[in-house]
Amino acid sequence: MNSRIGEAKMKFPKALETKLKELKIKRTPFVLVVNVADQSLALFQRSESIKTYTVSTSERGTGQLENTFQTPLGLHRVAKKIGEGAASCAIFKERVDTGETCSPGSTEHDGDDLILTRILRLEGVEEGYNRGKDALGRVVDSFDRYVYIHGTNHEDQLGMPRSHGCVRMGNADVIDLFKRVPEGTLVWIA
């Protein structure tokens, strides 16, 4: 499944605008907005939605805690872009290109949740919510939880919550997004 072309333009979320003011964070030139309810990722330039992609978030819902395999909510930034120049469907293990690829539609890796093509590694910016530890001392840090936006070997499941906590994208879509946004880009997951 590829990006959604020709859809009505999405509005920049008011809750995100409020959060940016509260945290005294300046909006980056591009902002990514992941909408868990409709399994989409919108790319904003300034306040205008310029592209929307179909994604897959966690099959276990949303949540902040380590080892829950849930997609974390809140404000993040792209801490690191990994995989520039890698082949489409390149298989990554521990953020390293293995030199292997996964054929689209192949059943060889059906039981695996592979990280393919490109990785945008996220770090939370909300201390105690998606960064560091919460008030009870539990790890809620998205960076330490290895939460990514990445390509997938399960493109047929995009549009449905099926990941293990990351935001999965189609492989052509993650290449497109990777080219468009720099490290430091803000990511809102709501």
Q: How far is CA 6 from CA 77, 82, 148, in A?
A: 27, 29, 27
pLDDT score of 6: 45
pLDDT score of 48: 94
Mean pLDDT per 10-residue run, the chain (190 residues)? 55 95 97 98 95 98 97 98 97 96 70 90 98 97 98 95 97 98 98
Place of tokens 């801490």: 79
Q: How far is CA 123 from CA 61, 132, 137, 163, 185, in A?
A: 19, 10, 18, 18, 11
Sequence ranges of the domains in the chain:
14-189
The number of helices, as runs of H, and strands, as runs of E, in the chain is 2, 10
Q: Is 83 helix (H, G, I), strand (E, B) or coil?
A: coil
Q: Is the pTM of this model over 0.75?
A: yes
Q: Is 88 left (phi over 0), alpha (psi -120 to 50) or beta?
A: beta
Q: Is the dihedral of CA 175, 179, 180, 184 positive or negative?
A: positive
Q: How far is CA 61 from CA 33, 36, 158, 162, in A?
A: 17, 9, 15, 9
**E-strand stretches of the chain:** 30-35, 40-45, 48-56, 74-82, 90-93, 96-101, 115-124, 148-151, 167-169, 186-189
Superfamily in which the 14-189 domain is placed by CATH: L,D-transpeptidase catalytic domain-like (2.40.440.10)
Q: How far apart are CA 95 and CA 75, in angstroms?
A: 22
Burial label for 14, CB within 10 Å (0-12, 13-18, 19+), is exposed
pLDDT score of 111: 62
Q: How far apart are CA 59 and CA 137, in angstroms?
A: 25
